[in-house]
Amino acid sequence: MMIGRWIKIGFPYLVLSGIVALVVWSNVRSAGSDGTVTDTTGSVDRSLMPDAPIVQDVATERSGRGGYLVDPVCRMEVNAAWGFVYQSGSDQDTARKWYFCTSACRDEFAANPDAYLGERCMVCNARIDANSPTAVTATYLDRPYRLCTEEHRVAFKADPAAYFMHRMWGIPDWLYYVSIAVVLLVSFGVFELSDSIGRWFVQHMQFGGGASVIVSPTISAGSGSSLQHSAPRPATAARWDVLRALPGMLRQIAVSRVTRFGVQFAMVVFFVTIIAAGLFGNQNPAVNIAPLLTWTIWWCGLVVLIMYAGKAWCYMCPWDALAGWMERLRLWRKSEEGMGLGLKWPRRLRNIWLATFLFVGLTWIELGFGITMSPRATAYVALGMLVMTIVCVFLFDRKSFCRYGCLVGRVSGLYALFGGVEFRSRDGSICQSCKTKECIKGSETAYGCPTFEYPGGLDVNTYCIQCGECLQSCPHDNMTVRMRPWGADLAEVHKPRQDEAYLALLMLAISGFHGLTMTPVWGAMTSGIEQTIPTVLGGRSVAMLAFSLGMAGLMVAPIIVYAVLVGMSYLLSAAGAGKPTSYREYFVRYAYCVLPIALFYHLAHNLEHMLMEGPKVFALASDPFGWGWNLFGTAGWRIPPLVSLDVLWIIQVVLVGIGHVYSLWAARNISRAVFAADESRGSRLGQWPMLLGMIAFSVFSLWLLKQPMEMRTSAM
């Protein structure tokens, strides 16, 4: 049992270790390990090669811009260790080598090398004759580039970064079909056709402990007194009490208010840097740190942080830190009197619909207006979040905005149901017998729960912001931080909410939408929509309307598919004694099982950006404003992507597969809660449509990864 507990808790770290090992192996394997293609026919026109001397050493061989390896087909920066090489001739003394991101680019080059050799226009890719009377030069990032005409030079100067766009190949067909076969095998073979194996899985992999229904006691915004008691929670085996394992001094440091202030202060420094760089720095996204830190490092890092540390982002949130310091006029000490009005949050808005609206709105602005490529727009978004937080802190009681309105907090709150860390009470009976309830009302040195939760009865991570106030206020030292297996909250049968259900479905839709907008499929879709729009509108208006209509359709489509599947399941389960009282209850309960699919596809997609584009942060750290600084001596660093595409594909497919398995597991837990011990034919049939839905959503995720991605950045 002890070994089983540690396997469950340690599985997330085994996954992380495996990803790190694959990334390392991708960059240390021997060059040419995939097989070097050698041209022995003399098909390469050597007159088109550069005049530079041939370099034999693979480690120093360079092609492309500025002394780093560039795939001549897709223009992606590459690493020689990946092993995709084309060599012109077998004589090592005179051979010339080119390096590629995958065998696909290498084979395309080998089929017609002359199509990629010679000096070419950055706009139309036409070959430029050395004596061309119309050829001109444009300088970008201190490097000269040739263009075939003055017209093309003007186009290039208007948006240089656009001409460094390259296409990243999606997962190959064979891997796509093998992955689908595995998904089907796991779905039908293990979870459905073999009831005995399915029951074993549920019994032995019950990550969350007990399955009794627990409704968390809550306090209404601003009331502080409407406490509903629940039965003490049963002890759970698959947990590790982190605070109890720490020595006394380290435990005090971990829960100290000063420690949180230090972490928040560091995040505020990063936040202010992003704002300043976005507003005042060079507006070329290739040399400004704001877009890269925000949309690549932070957005992907947030998902990883949730998976391994729950709501840790809320613990260090710079928006909350700045707003709180301003309202209380304190940095870490508790203040009895704040400057806020302390109004109650409007009753009609005591849900997460506002946060859902903001989340969808940000996605529309981000992708529709291309703010990920605009440092100034990135700064405006960050400032907008800060203004909303400050206004709400000064108007409303406690941290009402964190609970109800923060789009980052609500998205991370649902994902945190899967997170590997929780703040919980050690013994529910102690909380029940406690008369003073400092964790709710506050103590001399700590505030009551800022998000109106009852920490003693907390059973899910959704609204806990891991601020640590309950750790400091509890007079019985009964609150703690525990590590746990992935998906622990999805094993608990908690009270479902309609607003959470719709946000979960939208998170699935938006994750897929982000990926789709980077594929040629999206361009074809919006072009088709544009053709149906009256020509009386201007060009930009037509494009935005087409984008908005396409986005709306893709937001609604997964919800409609899900609603139909739920309806089929509801009808098929009509004979089951444990059938829910209404279709609405059925709809809301099962929505939670799509979260692992959305989460792991989100990670698979964003990990691509992190590993491919992220290394540029080392150079930008020395020159965050794009002003030519070199603060840390790293401004000239050009680090290639951290992983080859063939290894990245394996990582992405494995992540989608893990998400699929967890979604099946979550759906099975929900089915057991819905139908209790009922084993009727109706209850079993009712699970099939949901199984088909999980398969469809996972296959769609794989299909998205199969599509070539257009990477609009000069960072790669």
pLDDT in tens, 31-50: 444 456 665 555 565 555 55
Answer whether 488's CB lies under 8 Å from 428's CB. no
What is the per-residue DSSP string for 179-210?
A: HHHHHHIIIIIITTS-HHHHHHHHHH--TT--
Q: What is the pLDDT of residues 96-146, one digit of tens each?
A: 888 888 888 888 888 888 888 878 888 888 888 777 888 888 888 777 888
- Residue partners of 538: CB distance under 8 A and separation at least 6: none
Answer whether 102's CB lies under 8 Å from 646's CB. yes
Buried b or exposed e, range 126-140, using 16+ CB within 10 angstroms: ebbeeeeeebbebeb
| Beta pairing class for 96-99 and 136-140 | unpaired
Task: Please tell me the predicted confidence (pLDDT) of residue 572.
Answer: 82
**Alpha-carbon 82 to chain mean position:** 26
Answer whether 359's CB lies under 8 Å from 276's CB. no
Instruction: Measure the CA–CA gap between 515 and 523, rounded to whole angstroms.
Output: 12
Say what angle helices 688-706 and 539-572 make with each other, to 10 degrees.
Answer: 150
Task: Please tell me the predicted confidence (pLDDT) of residue 449.
Answer: 93
**219 φ/ψ sector (left φ>0, alpha ψ -120 to 50, else beta):** beta
Band of pLDDT at residue 187, cut at 50, 70 and 90:
confident
The token pair at 50 is 């550069």
Single-letter residue type at 575 = A
- DSSP reduced 3-state for 136: strand
Buried b or exposed e, range 549-584, using 16+ CB within 10 angstroms: bbbeebbeebbebbeebbebbbebbeebebbbeeee
**Alpha-carbon 583 to chain mean position:** 32
Radius of gyration of the chain (CA): 28
Answer whether 596's CB lies under 8 Å from 487's CB. yes
* Closest alpha carbon to 680 in 541, 553, 573: 573
Distance in Å from the first CA to the final CA of the chain: 48
Band of pLDDT at residue 682, cut at 50, 70 and 90:
low
Instruction: Measure the CA–CA gap between 310 and 595, rounded to whole angstroms.
Output: 14
Upper half-sphere CA count for residue 615 (Cβ side, 13 Å) = 17
**Alpha-carbon 534 to chain mean position:** 37
Single-letter residue type at 664 = L
Q: What is the pLDDT of residues 214-254, one digit of tens each?
A: 333 334 444 343 333 344 444 456 889 999 888 888 888 88
- DSSP reduced 3-state for 97: strand
CB neighbours (10 Å) of residue 520?
12
Of 36-40, 256-260, 683-687, minimum mean pLDDT range: 36-40
Buried b or exposed e, range 474-496, using 16+ CB within 10 angstroms: bebebbbbbbbbbbbbbbbbbeb
Single-letter residue type at 493 = V
Higher pLDDT residue, 300 or 53?
Answer: 300
Dmax (CA) for the chain in angstroms is: 90
Say what angle helices 539-572 and 583-590 make with each other, to 10 degrees.
Answer: 110
Per-chain mean pLDDT for the chain: 82
The token pair at 242 is 């982190």
Single-letter residue type at 309 = A
Band of pLDDT at residue 190, cut at 50, 70 and 90:
low
Instruction: Measure the CA–CA gap between 255 and 480, rounded to whole angstroms.
Output: 10
- DSSP reduced 3-state for 545: helix
Band of pLDDT at residue 90, cut at 50, 70 and 90:
low
Q: What is the pLDDT of residues 414-465, one digit of tens each?
A: 999 999 999 999 988 898 889 889 999 888 888 999 999 998 888 899 999 9
Band of pLDDT at residue 94, cut at 50, 70 and 90:
low
Task: Please tell me the predicted confidence (pLDDT) of residue 147.
Answer: 87
Q: What is the pLDDT of residues 301-335, one digit of tens each?
A: 999 999 999 999 999 999 999 999 999 888 888 88
Band of pLDDT at residue 1, cut at 50, 70 and 90:
low
The token pair at 72 is 């001549």
